Amino acid sequence: MKVYLGIDVGTTSIKALAVDASGKVAGSFSHPLSLLAPHPAWAEQDPESWWEGVMSLLRAVPKDMKVERIGLSGQMHTLVPLDKDGKVLRNAILWCDQRTASECEAATRELGGEERVIELTGNPIYPGFTLPKILWLRNQEPEIYGKMATCLIAKDFVAYRLTGEMGSDHSDASGSAMYDVIGRKWNTSLLGALKIDPKLLPPLQSSFEVRGRLRKDLAQQLDWDAAEVVAGGADNAVSALGVGVCQEGDCMVSIGTSGTVLGIAKGGTLPDKSGKLHFFNHAAPDVSYHMGVMLAAASSLNWFKDKMGRDFSWPQVEAGIAAAPIGADGLLWLPYLQGERTPHRDPNARGVLFGLSAMTNEMRVFRAVMEGITYGLRDSFELLKEQTAIRRVLVVGGGAKNAEWRKMLAGNMKVPVAVPVIDEGGAYGAAMLAAMGGGADLTMVKNWVKESSVTEPNETNYAEYDAVYEQFKALYVDLKPRFDAVAALNTRKR
């Protein structure tokens, strides 16, 4: 049986899916990963652990499955520095690492301010992006920086180990802060201004283009007749492809630990000048997308249940939320347990439960928390609507399994909300890219995607949700000075 193998290099695990030519999942495999935190706000992993994990998954594929082509997906922004012989120089610095705030500020200033940076790259420079990590290496670990001959992102390191060929793709390059999203190329003027040698950056391909053949020793070991490896793409982009979100009017809402709202950009769309939305190239050919990110989505709901709702099962919680009224009798939840990215870009924001009374019960709070997360997602959705018309939403992640949450999303976004039959994140989209690397076109692999259910919006709820959403937004504005004041107080105490 010939299959395509999609591999997704995540933060907490690596997942692989074997998919046949019709899009049916023939096998699913996973390998756990651990996170290293040598200092507060640092996040690292040993790239060798990725390779060991990938090899364990390749060996787990049954012998009766012959892998024809491998597609890749992976965590964005991560920096893997390699020497001239392709050897890893230090642990990879991950997307969630926050050590580079001063490098971001200095680079933004040197390039002429944030507005100019957005003109150059389509995005502000965030601490998690790749560029400030390179600058941090230059400032803090000059010996390693001096030995660095190439730097790769996570899935590109795996592709290098599989094929011996170095490269990256446009979707991952988009999140590096060194790339021209409009021109679809490394931004050499930016690199020159910051005195970074362009030779440190690998050549670029489309996500579905073949990077190379499986190394002979691996092909012989696995008996796969030198299967091909395609370039692959960034996890958000490849996940969107995996649920068919790749043309104008499409939107993907992911409700996991964090939350993302990703909408396909219309032709000729420019970056969001305010810097509130990311603007990246898609893994699908000649497509770009806007994306908003909230830092505590389902984790807000899990936090409340773990701390104060342990006596209730999830079916009881869902039934209680469904029975509670919109607005939860005046309760509002600001879901900023870890600060917030879109739209506030505010590390000082914190979670707030507002409107408690003697009549409040747990189910009202559960309702308020779920609504607060939904309003946080709506913040990004409203910004997306300013960039492109949204006709439909595909919702994925753990929150997609909750029927009441889907109703809430539909009522706030005012468009149908669908759930895909196969919700396997980047691994399924990576298998699609593997098929495209062999000649399948985008339409063919999109036909793999089926919807299990569609929730239509209830127009009678629009006005109620709109009224509560306005109060949600106003509460943050009211508390913003207090968030900053408390953060400054705590900083002085440390």
pLDDT of 473 reads 97
Task: Give the C-alpha separation, 192 to 438, whole Å.
Answer: 38
* Lookup: tokens for 123: 């995005």
Task: Give the C-alpha separation, 37 to 44, whole Å.
Answer: 6
Exactly one of 180, 235, 379, 423 is catalytic; which is it? Answer: 235
Q: Is the pTM for the entire model greater than 0.85?
A: yes
**Average pLDDT, integer, range 401-420:** 95
Burial class (CB in 10 A: 0-12, 13-18, 19+), 265: buried
Residue 342 has pLDDT above 60, yes or no: yes
Within the chain, which residue ranges are assigned CATH 3.30.420.40? 2-236, 246-421+458-494
Digit-coded pLDDT (tens) for 357-398: 998 999 999 999 999 999 999 999 999 999 888 998 999 988
Task: Give the C-alpha separation, 472 to 488, whole Å.
Answer: 24
Phi, psi of 333 (to 5 degrees): -120, 120
pLDDT of 398 reads 87
Amino acid code (one letter) for 94: L
Region for residue 330 given its phi and psi (left: phi exceeds 0; alpha: psi -120 to 50; beta: otherwise):
left
Residue 494 banded pLDDT, cuts 50, 70, 90: low
The string of DSSP letters for 187-250 reads -HHHHHHTT--GGGSPPEE-TTSEEEEPPHHHHHHHT-SS-EEE--EEHHHHHHHHTT--STTE
Mean residue pLDDT of the chain comes to 94
Amino acid code (one letter) for 454: V
Tell which residue, 211, 222, 72, 219, has the closest CA to residue 155. Answer: 72
Annotation marks residue 235 as catalytic = yes
Asked if 96 and 128 touch (Cβ cutoff 8 Å), the reply is yes
Digit-coded pLDDT (tens) for 197-253: 999 999 999 999 999 999 999 999 999 988 999 999 999 999 999 999 999 999 999
Digit-coded pLDDT (tens) for 424-472: 889 999 999 999 999 999 999 999 999 988 999 999 999 999 999 999 9
Report how far apart, in Å, the C-alpha atoms of 472 and of each of 291, 353, 421 are: 21, 11, 33
Digit-coded pLDDT (tens) for 246-302: 999 999 999 988 899 999 998 767 888 888 999 999 999 999 999 999 988 998 999
pLDDT of 491 reads 66
Report how far apart, in Å, the C-alpha atoms of 140 and of each of 35, 99, 143, 246 are: 21, 11, 9, 40
Digit-coded pLDDT (tens) for 94-145: 988 889 989 999 999 999 999 999 999 999 999 889 999 999 999 999 999 9
Amino acid code (one letter) for 308: M
**Average pLDDT, integer, range 20-48:** 93
Residue 492 banded pLDDT, cuts 50, 70, 90: low
Asked if 237 and 173 touch (Cβ cutoff 8 Å), the reply is no
pLDDT of 40 reads 81
**Kind of pairing between the strands at 66-74 and 233-234:** parallel
Burial class (CB in 10 A: 0-12, 13-18, 19+), 382: middle
pLDDT of 110 reads 97
Would you say the C-alpha torsion 82, 86, 88, 89 has a positive or negative sign?
A: negative
Asked if 451 and 250 touch (Cβ cutoff 8 Å), the reply is no
pLDDT of 268 reads 65
Q: Identify any residues that bridge with 73 across adjacent strands, giving them in sequence order.
A: 8, 233
Asked if 26 and 61 touch (Cβ cutoff 8 Å), the reply is no
- One CATH from 3.40.50.1110, 3.40.50.150, 3.30.1310.10, 3.30.420.40 for 246-421+458-494: 3.30.420.40
Burial class (CB in 10 A: 0-12, 13-18, 19+), 197: exposed
Tell which residue, 316, 337, 354, 308, has the closest CA to residue 478. Answer: 354
Task: Give the C-alpha separation, 484 to 346, whole Å.
Answer: 9
Q: What proportion of the chain, given as a percentage, has pLDDT over 70?
A: 99
CATH architecture of 2-236: 2-Layer Sandwich (3.30)
Asked if 238 and 228 touch (Cβ cutoff 8 Å), the reply is no
Report how far apart, in Å, the C-alpha atoms of 482 and of each of 73, 83, 348 are: 41, 48, 9
